[in-house]
């Protein structure tokens, strides 16, 4: 999948989640996705600790070298689902933010 395909996939996944949990109102859905994001960030942090050999052995059991990349993907997906839920145009937000970052370094990219 290309990055350009993500918005359509996120919209589709959002619809699947709405169908799976039809009784959630918008406020609850936002809270659930926010909590899910925190969960996924925690899992990513765990994988980073394991990759740096800084996690206790019991938490590193069943570790797979692909886990780190999968956790990055999970964080990205849940972030995009939450942005979609809140009506944030991520592409525009990224363009704006990148312009601000480049301006700090007097760059126009």
Give pLDDT tens digits for 24-44: 799 999 999 999 999 999 999
Contact 50, 105 (CB under 8 A): no
Q: What is the pTM of this model?
A: 0.86
Q: Give residue-wise pLDDT tens across range 44-103.
A: 999 999 988 878 787 777 777 889 999 999 999 999 999 999 999 999 999 999 999 999
Domains located in the chain, CATH noted:
3-104 (1.10.287.1080)
**Residues in CB range of 40: below 8 A, 6 or more apart:** 71, 74, 75, 78
Alpha-carbon gap, residue 46 to 50, rounded angstroms: 6
Contact 102, 108 (CB under 8 A): yes
How many Cα atoms sit within 13 Å of 44 on the Cβ side? 16
DSSP string, 32-94: HHHHHHHHHHHHHHHHHHHHTT-S-HHHHTT--TTHHHHHHHHHHHHHHHHHHHTT--HHHHH
């Amino acid at each position: 999948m290309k990055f350009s395909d993500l918005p359509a996939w996120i919209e589709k996944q959002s619809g699947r989640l709405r169908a799976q949990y039809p009784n959630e109102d918008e406020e609850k859905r936002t809270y659930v996705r926010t909590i899910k994001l925190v969960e996924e960030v925690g899992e990513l942090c765990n994988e980073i600790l394991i990759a740096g050999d800084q996690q206790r052995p019991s938490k590193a059991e069943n570790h797979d070298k692909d886990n780190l990349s999968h956790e990055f993907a999970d964080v990205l997906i849940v972030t995009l689902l939450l942005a979609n839920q809140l009506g944030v145009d991520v592409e525009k937000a990224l363009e704006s933010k990148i312009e601000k970052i480049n301006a700090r370094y007097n760059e126009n990219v």
